[in-house]
Amino acid sequence: MTVGPLTALALGDAFGFGFEYAPPVFVQANNFPRRGYVQHPGRPGNKPGTYSDDTQMSLALAEALIDEMPWEQPRLAQRFVNAFKRDPRVGYAQRFYDFLVEIQDGEEFLAKIQPDSDKSGGAMRSPILGLLPDLPTLIGHTRLQCALTHNTPAGKAAAVVAALMLHYFHYDLGTKKDLGEFLDGIVPVRNFHWCQWDGRPVGSKGWQSVAAAATAVFKYGSMADILRACVAYTGDVDTVACIALAAASRSIEIEQDLPEILMHDFEGGEYGWSYLEVLDMALLNRFPGATECPPPVDE
């Protein structure tokens, strides 16, 4: 089934969330997307099929794009606070979760945040910014939103690449085999290539999640295979999967074969599946791109 980039991101997040930092033996025994979601062995209270902070913060950025909000840090900080306060959920790093519980608004967010991390939080929410048609705007918007929480060179580089992956396919800038050359050309890193992750477990750093996601998209030709490959790395796999599936959802070279069970068993509620579909339709109406992928079905 074909889905839009935001719902693809959320599906990758929700499936991967059942395996985030889980023991490798558990991953090997249960990493089968066609069988549906699994219960995380260390989170008995987290219902399978629910998304994490990766999707929630992406929702905040998607809503800002749809509303054509001025792209300013105080406004973005308020969006992040609003998204959390209306629907508190697990998945955030514990310190950041406690921080969001404690503060009241975007002004307090900016006054108290310590944005010196190079972990994956800035990158996990960036793919949707790849819909922006202009590269300088994409890079500027991505770096600015990333700097709210991950104002480091590595954090911002990873965030930009996460957005560029989706942008490359959405605007049909080249074939899948040339993705790595495109990414390396815009965000070069000495003695490193974005599409050549070596398969080791993915740690907490943003560049690791993005490189693992880019490599999975580069190597595999279907959404289901990409999702399984992302989770098979082990480690921070929900972030890897959400970045990879968002980009892959816009490629005409990748089979759009995500299992129906993932959509059927995905969370409902006010900010669940139906809400994501509405946002996806609005995003693709505003940023139609050049891709020949059909739009998500409005059922």
Tell me which long-range contacts 103-106 makes (C-beta under 8 A, separation of at least 24): 105/78, 105/81, 106/74, 106/75, 106/76, 106/77, 106/78, 106/79, 106/80, 106/81
Closest C-alpha among 11, 6, 7 to residue 230: 11
**Which pLDDT score, from 0 to 100, does residue 139 have?**
98
Distance CA 32, CA 298 (A): 27
Per-residue pLDDT of the chain (299 residues; tens, 9 = 90+): 789 999 999 999 999 999 999 999 999 999 999 999 999 999 988 899 999 999 999 999 999 999 999 999 999 999 999 999 999 998 898 999 999 999 999 999 999 999 999 999 999 999 999 999 999 999 999 999 999 999 999 999 999 999 999 999 999 999 999 999 999 999 999 999 999 999 999 999 999 999 999 999 999 999 999 999 999 999 999 999 999 999 999 999 999 999 999 999 999 999 999 999 999 999 999 999 985 554 554 44
**Which pLDDT score, from 0 to 100, does residue 291 have?**
58
Distance CA 191, CA 207 (A): 14
For the chain, strand residue ranges (E) read: none
In degrees to the nearest 10, what's the CA dihedral of 175, 181, 182, 185?
-170
C-alpha angle 174/54/151, rounded to 5°?
80
Burial of residue 104 (CB within 10 Å: 0-12, 13-18, 19+) is exposed
CB neighbours of residue 280 within 10 Å: 24
| Type of residue numbered 182 | F
Let me know: does 38 contact 30? Beta carbons within 8 Å.
Answer: yes
Contacts of residue 276, Cβ cutoff 8 Å, sequence gap at least 6: 6, 7, 10, 55, 59
Closest C-alpha among 270, 297, 296, 298 to residue 6: 296
**Mind listing the domains of the chain with CATH numbers?**
5-38+48-286 (1.10.4080.10)
| pTM listed for this prediction | 0.96
**Which pLDDT score, from 0 to 100, does residue 45 have?**
86
Distance CA 200, CA 111 (A): 37
Distance CA 178, CA 182 (A): 6
Which residues face 119 on adjacent strands?
Answer: 205
R_g of the chain, CA atoms, integer Å? 17
> Roughly how many angstroms between the first and final C-alpha of the chain, as a whole number?
12
Distance CA 254, CA 172 (A): 13
Which residues face 202 on adjacent strands?
Answer: 235
Token duo for residue 167? 């942008």
CA 57 to chain centre: 9
